[in-house]
Amino acid sequence: MSDTSSNTSLLYRIVNDKEMRSVAIQVITIALLFAFLFYVVRNAMVNLEAIGKGYSFKFLSEASNYDINQTLIEYNSRSPHYRAAMVGILNTLLVAVTGVVIATALGFVLGVLRLSTNWLINRTVYVYIEYVRNVPVLLHILLMHGIVVNTLPVPKNAMNFADGTFFLTNRGFYTPKPLFEPAMWAVFITLFIAVCFAWWFRRYAQKVQDQTGKAYPVFWIGLAAMVLGPTLVYFLAGSPMTFEYAALKGFNFKGGLVIRPEFIALTLALSLYTAAFIAEIVRAGIQAISHGQTEAAYALGIKPGRTMSLVVIPQALRVIIPPLSSQYLNITKNSSLAIAIGYMDIVATIGGISLNQTGREMECMTIVLALYLSFSLMISGFMNWYNKKMKLVER
């Protein structure tokens, strides 16, 4: 009798108590969601077993039997599929990081120019932004690839820079390839120490300026440490680096370091496309700052350029950073369109050729989805950390 009354009392609380009802609904919803996911996964595994495929990642150790035209690590057609996946991951990260850097720099410049009082500059940037934003990114990629491949000369008529050091053709941009000797590690270690010193000195100089008002030339001192230190160690170690130069042999160049036209076209297309969105974010962030801040800076005799960099932009960053995270996520995910022009990223390697050769569509798509999810979570986590660091600290 007591058990029945306690159950009735609990049911009464769940129905009538707002907090208990809310918790119960959430628990039931999560339980139903997990039950549905379990059913889908279980059903997929049973169906795969029925056709003799199963669910296994053993295929990753088998030979891939296909070539990749751009690799950042050693790879050939006899390498296993997991090696091909690593090449695809590095190629994706290379495009994403390069694109983020270029898009951010270009987007900030366009955003500032969008507010220019010069009518011609303002309207030109406006037309560019509206054109780029309203055309699908895939069309930009195809257009840029067509421009790169069809306008650049063939290897026989390559554009020559620096007396045969650099060559630009429709098959890629050829540069000298650095060859490191063992002593080069000393130079890298010195560079790392110099970067750490520059970071420490920046914090120290900021602390001194806050306490005394004295300003150090932080940029020039940090730059001198990162340039002079490694350069000195490089010569003391006997110049432990040589270069391999590209040379025309037959119908194409051999040797050196080549940047493929697919990478150039994809990076430029994604950067120019995303920069248009970043420009509007920067414009909105700058306009969100009260005009009184600018007038106060002018009243103190600060020049317009310094006012923008020291007064407006630092405050605008608190408005710019949150939507900027979405653009960094977009440029990373949009890189999956690389397969349209033959750039070998994750989708083209493990999610494309490896999938077709092995017939392991479930496993390959699981890997691709997990990788993109990991990239997105890492970018979101970093940007959230940076946003918290930049926000105003209330007293």
Tens of pLDDT along the chain (395 residues) come to 455 655 566 666 666 667 777 777 888 899 999 999 888 888 877 887 777 777 788 888 898 888 888 888 888 888 999 999 999 999 999 999 999 999 999 999 999 899 888 889 999 999 999 999 999 999 999 999 999 989 988 888 888 887 778 888 888 888 888 888 888 899 999 999 999 999 999 989 888 887 887 878 888 888 898 999 889 998 988 888 888 888 888 888 888 888 899 999 999 999 999 999 999 999 998 888 888 888 888 888 888 778 887 888 888 888 888 899 999 999 999 999 998 998 999 999 999 999 998 888 888 998 999 999 999 999 999 999 888 887 765 55
Dist. CA 206–CA 214, nearest whole Å: 9
| φ and ψ of 244, to 5 deg | -105, 125
CA 77 to chain CA mean position, Å? 28
- Structure token digits, residue 182: 């063992």
Yes or no: say if 115 and 283 are a contact pair by the CB < 8 Å rule. yes
The answer as to CATH 1.10.3720.10 being correct for domain 81-152+261-390 is yes
Task: Please report, for the chain, the start and end positions of each structural domain, with discontinuous segments joined by +.
Answer: 4-50, 81-152+261-390
Residue in 128, 126, 70, 109 with CA at minimum distance from that of residue 348? 70
Residue type, 212: T
Pairing of strands 172-175, 257-259: antiparallel
Residue in 72, 95, 67, 69 with CA at minimum distance from that of residue 338? 95
| φ and ψ of 320, to 5 deg | -80, -40
- Which burial class, exposed, middle or buried, applies to 283 when counting CB atoms under 10 A from its CB (0-12, 13-18, 19+)? buried
Q: Which residues contact 148 (CB under 8 A, 6 or more apart)?
A: 170, 261, 264, 265, 268
pTM of the model: 0.82
Residue in 158, 312, 374, 125 with CA at minimum distance from that of residue 246? 158
Q: Which residues contact 245 (CB under 8 A, 6 or more apart)?
A: 164, 165, 176, 177, 255, 256
Dist. CA 85–CA 364, nearest whole Å: 10
